[in-house]
């Protein structure tokens, strides 16, 4: 999708692209509202020094499919700030971004959490705009649903992984799992996979990867992450240190790419050994890689199916914005497990039955729901 002219628009959207800037902080930002046929625009906000409008637009489209796939009545949207989240001026840039979008928030868009932002940042947005309705994912102490702190997205990735392994007639208990990326999603996925009995044999961060064929001590890794961050890979005893990316093709039964987009390309798709791939990150597999893995008989759980736990939690958070009662994590985790396991099974069944890639099957499921809403609201002519 290119955004240097009007050729990026298609039958689904985007409906609106808003770019903003602030001279004092150097902030550059964008909001993309992709499709609101099923509800107002909702999606996370990310901060990155290399962020592009095209990147945000691609992610907004993923949100359109993700909301429809979990059958929650919200529309696809995404926002992004081109700024370094490690900068001492992060809060100033975030506040400038929130002020610049005050005409759209919260009536057309509600801030959420994505790469580079935390529960604290959601609280900052609410404070800047003086309205609890403007952001979700804020701390529980402020009446929010801290789904990153609760690890809801990673929890759902692990639940989808177990369902995909079961779909192949196998057992996750004892299976070898590689998790690329040990951020909020990857770490929570590793923790839940460990609880389910899997052997997490490798994890990676921006500083490298660690590999132990007999399995890593996941609880120790989680404690080390709290202390060392990405540098945890330098503090793991009894494990081999590799370059980031080498873990993708290690001997494994399940691969969970939970870092950035397009990390599994054609070359990696041909070389990886896993029989199940579960996209913890959005757009982790390139389209050509998806085709190659389908041809190789690898079961792939697409991003907007596998990592939709966060949007289920965000849906609860949307309601919590107007409630005086705190939300508890257990009902959310139960809903995430139920919806994601059912969607994983349905998509893999349709993929096998109709000889489609799992991404095509998942998108067809989401498109049916979005198309029906567009027809019923008169946005397109009925077929």
Place 339 in a pLDDT band, splitting at 50, 70 and 90. Answer: very high
* Distance (Å, whole) CA 233 – CA 369: 43
What pLDDT does 1 receive?
A: 42
Place 26 in a pLDDT band, splitting at 50, 70 and 90. Answer: very high
Beta strands in the chain (DSSP E): 16-22, 27-35, 41-42, 45-48, 75-82, 109-110, 176-180, 199-205, 208-211, 240-242, 254-257, 276-278, 299-301
* Distance (Å, whole) CA 29 – CA 297: 41
Query: Residue 186 pLDDT more than 70?
Result: yes
What pLDDT does 260 receive?
A: 87
Exposed, middle or buried, 334 (CB in 10 Å: 0-12/13-18/19+)?
Answer: exposed
* Distance (Å, whole) CA 211 – CA 204: 9
* Distance (Å, whole) CA 347 – CA 254: 18
What pLDDT does 382 receive?
A: 67
Name residue, tokens 């349905």: 346
What pLDDT does 258 receive?
A: 97
Decide if 78 is catalytic. Answer: yes
Q: What is the mean pLDDT of residues 49-60?
A: 94
Sign of the four-CA dihedral 77, 81, 84, 86: negative
Residue 79: helix, strand or coil by DSSP?
Answer: strand
Cis preceding linkage at 14, omega within 30: yes
> What DSSP string describes 367-381?
HHHHHHHHHHTTSS-
Q: Contact at 8 Å (CB) between 163 and 125?
A: no
What does the mean pLDDT of the chain come to?
95
Q: Contact at 8 Å (CB) between 161 and 256?
A: yes
Query: Which of these, 209, 206, 234, 232, lies nearest to 221 by C-alpha position?
Result: 232
Which is catalytic among the residues 42, 66, 78, 90? Answer: 78
* Distance (Å, whole) CA 135 – CA 41: 12
Between 1-10, 161-170, 220-229, 331-340, the lowest mean confidence (pLDDT) is in 1-10
- Can you list the alpha helix ranges (DSSP code H) found in 130-282? 152-167, 184-195, 218-228, 266-271
* Distance (Å, whole) CA 29 – CA 44: 13
Residue 200: helix, strand or coil by DSSP?
Answer: strand
What pLDDT does 127 receive?
A: 97
Q: What is the mean pLDDT of residues 150-163?
A: 97
Exposed, middle or buried, 352 (CB in 10 Å: 0-12/13-18/19+)?
Answer: middle
Query: What is the tens place of the pLDDT at every residue in 173-183?
Result: 999 999 999 99
Which DSSP symbol is given to 328?
A: P
Query: What is the tens place of the pLDDT at every residue in 302-314?
Result: 998 999 999 999 9
Task: Provide the percentage of residues in the chain whose pLDDT is more than 90.
Answer: 91
Q: What is the mean pLDDT of residues 356-360?
A: 96
Query: What is the tens place of the pLDDT at every residue in 74-129?
Result: 999 999 999 999 999 999 999 999 999 999 999 999 999 998 999 999 999 999 99
Task: Provide the percentage of residues in the chain whose pLDDT is more than 70.
Answer: 98
Q: What are the tokens at 1?
A: 């999708």
Which DSSP symbol is given to 90?
A: H
* Distance (Å, whole) CA 130 – CA 245: 43
Cis preceding linkage at 106, omega within 30: yes
């Amino acid at each position: 999708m290119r955004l240097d002219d009007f050729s990026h628009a298609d039958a689904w959207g985007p409906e609106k692209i808003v770019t903003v800037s602030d001279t004092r902080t150097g902030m550059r930002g964008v909001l993309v509202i992709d499709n609101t046929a099923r509800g107002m625009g909702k999606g996370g906000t990310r901060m990155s020094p290399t962020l592009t409008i095209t990147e945000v637009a691609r992610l907004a489209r993923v949100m359109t499919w993700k909301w429809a796939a979990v059958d929650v009545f919200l529309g696809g949207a995404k926002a992004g700030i081109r700024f370094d989240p490690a900068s001492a001026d992060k809060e100033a840039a975030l506040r400038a971004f929130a002020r610049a979008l005050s005409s759209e928030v919260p009536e057309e868009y509600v801030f959420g959490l994505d790469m580079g932002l935390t529960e604290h940042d959601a609280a900052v947005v609410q404070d800047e705009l003086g309205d609890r309705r403007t952001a979700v994912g804020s701390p529980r102490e402020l009446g929010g649903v801290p789904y990153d702190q609760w690890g809801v997205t990673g929890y759902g990735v692990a639940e989808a992984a177990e369902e995909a392994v079961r779909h192949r007639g196998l057992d996750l208990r004892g299976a070898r799992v590689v998790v690329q990326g040990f951020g909020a999603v990857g770490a929570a996925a590793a923790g839940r996979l460990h609880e389910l009995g899997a052997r997490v044999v490798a994890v990676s961060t921006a500083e490298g990867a660690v590999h132990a064929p007999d399995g890593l001590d996941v609880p120790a890794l989680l404690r080390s992450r709290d202390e060392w961050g990405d540098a945890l890979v330098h503090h793991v005893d009894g494990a081999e240190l590799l370059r980031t990316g080498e873990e993708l093709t290690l001997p494994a039964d399940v691969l969970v790419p939970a870092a950035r987009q397009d990390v599994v390309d054609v070359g990696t798709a041909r070389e990886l050994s896993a029989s199940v791939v579960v996209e913890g990150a959005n757009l982790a597999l390139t389209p050509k890689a998806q085709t190659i893995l389908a041809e190789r008989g690898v079961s792939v759980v697409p991003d907007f199916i596998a990592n939709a736990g966060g949007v289920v939690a965000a849906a609860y958070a949307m309601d919590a914005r107007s409630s005086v009662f705190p939300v508890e994590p257990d009902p959310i985790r139960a809903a995430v497990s139920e919806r994601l396991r059912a969607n994983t099974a349905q998509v893999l069944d349709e993929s096998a039955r109709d000889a489609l890639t799992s991404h095509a099957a998942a998108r067809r499921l989401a498109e049916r729901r979005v198309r029906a809403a567009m027809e019923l609201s008169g946005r397109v002519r009925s077929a």
